[in-house]
């Protein structure tokens, strides 16, 4: 199997694993535990995963064995954890961020909340896209997410976000950032036209 085929399979698996985790969190049998799970996930932000034992029962049962890494987080684990943390932040408070079922990028999600007074959002978005490390990228992504969360029409495809975070780490950072920038800066169009694979 070629490296490219292997990467494509992992990319799609990251998407599927994120779907499984969100499906678990939103299942009727987990409703009593859901707020505790989401709080534990939010509390893991800024910590090493080895210091976040409350997240382990939520994350690890869904991650395929080939995604697990010894000693440090694999690209897949990091992508899933960051997307899951943002999902947990999005579920906090009265203004909840819904999971957009359309296959749109995070840039498209931000474009929907962009208005004439979005100079601050534009600056933060550009700073995020020019980040030189994944950790710096994630730091700015979290700031932008919290800013956009205050808007009424903000919805995110968390499955696609996890996918993009994985691709960003394996050398596709320029591809992801360019796609997000195109979706963010172009005039609003019909959602079907914004769909991307």
pTM of the model: 0.86
**pLDDT confidence of residue 196:** 47
Residue partners of 87: CB distance under 8 A and separation at least 6: 22, 25, 41, 97, 99, 156, 158
**pLDDT confidence of residue 1:** 41
10-residue averages of pLDDT along the chain (197 residues)? 48 83 89 89 85 85 85 88 95 83 89 84 94 96 93 90 96 95 80 47
Domain around 120 = 3-194
Q: How far apart are CA 176 and CA 64, in angstroms?
A: 24
**pLDDT confidence of residue 6:** 53
Domain total of the chain: 1
> Hunting for tokens 């609003």 — which residue is that?
188
Q: What is the CATH number of the domain that holds 172?
A: 1.10.520.40
> Residue 24: which H helix or E strand, with range?
helix 3-25
CA 12 to chain centre: 14
């Amino acid at each position: 199997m070629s490296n490219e085929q292997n990467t494509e399979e992992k990319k799609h698996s990251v998407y599927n694993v994120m779907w499984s985790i969100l499906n678990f969190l939103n299942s009727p049998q987990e409703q009593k535990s859901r707020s505790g799970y989401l709080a534990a996930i939010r509390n893991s932000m800024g910590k090493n995963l080895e210091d976040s034992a409350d997240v382990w029962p939520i994350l690890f049962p869904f991650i395929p064995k080939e995604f697990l890494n010894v000693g440090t987080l694999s690209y897949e684990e990091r992508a899933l954890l960051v997307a899951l943390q943002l999902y947990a932040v999005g579920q906090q408070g009265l203004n909840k961020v819904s999971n957009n079922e359309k296959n749109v990028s995070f840039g498209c999600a931000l474009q929907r909340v962009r208005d004439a007074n979005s100079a601050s959002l534009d600056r933060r978005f550009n700073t995020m896209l020019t980040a030189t490390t994944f950790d710096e990228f994630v730091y700015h992504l979290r700031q932008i997410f919290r800013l956009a969360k205050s808007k009424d029409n903000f919805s995110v495809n968390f499955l696609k976000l996890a996918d993009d975070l994985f691709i960003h780490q394996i050398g596709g950072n320029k591809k992801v950032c360019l796609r997000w920038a195109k979706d963010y800066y172009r005039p609003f169009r019909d959602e079907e036209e914004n769909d991307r694979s």
